Amino acid sequence: MPIEYRIDHASHRVLAEGYGKVTDEDVFVYQREVWSRSDVQGYDELVDMSDATTIEEGSSDRMRELAALSAAADPPQGSSRFAIVAPGDLAFGVGRMYQAYRQLNDRTTKQVAVFREREAAIRWLDGEEPAPGDSIPAPPRRDPPT
């Protein structure tokens, strides 16, 4: 599988890594498989694309669809963090596009940030350093109109 993951229940974190050729469908499969599990709700997430040799970029409509699917899996209470490690320019750009679409979705409760280095991403997830200047915080939750 182009995206392998493990769940660290002790740190409340999902750690995923992309290998070889990663397509948008691979990312959808990962999203559905992992985030449909009730035991990871509210966990932080790290997706490291350092070992992905090829990233097949989907359309902007597919990126919006992925962001909506992801936001729908967020628990309505609380907030968690999602760090994307993307050393290459294409992966970084795709990560930033996803970040923007994700944060525009009203259901989002995760703060998303994109990093060039894994160590910086882990420090941010651990709360040891502030969000990068280009991260976009999760919007405040809004109650639906009654």
Orientation of helix 89-104 relative to helix 60-73, angle to 10° = 60
The domain that holds 119 is classified in CATH as 3.30.750.24
Whether residue 114 is predicted with pLDDT greater than 90 in this model: the reply is: yes
Would residue 145 count as lying in a domain? Answer: no
In this structure, is residue 135 part of a structural domain? no
User: Does residue 141 lie within any of the structural domains?
Assistant: no
Starting at the edge strand that comes first in sequence, how are the strands of the sheet with 44-55 ordered?
3-8, 13-22, 44-55, 80-85, 110-115
On whether residue 101 sits in a domain, the answer given is yes
Q: 20-72: per-residue pLDDT in tens? A: 999 999 999 999 999 999 999 999 999 999 999 999 877 889 999 999 999 99
| Number of independent structural domains in the chain | 1
Query: Could you read off the pLDDT of 1-27 as tens digits, one per residue?
Result: 699 999 999 999 999 999 999 999 999
Within 13 Å, how many C-alpha atoms sit on residue 89's CB side?
A: 0
Domain assignment present for residue 115? The answer is yes
Instruction: Out of 75-84, 92-101, 109-118, pick the least confident.
Output: 75-84
Please, are residues 123 and 129 in contact by the beta-carbon 8 Å criterion? yes
Residue 82 lies in domain: 3-125
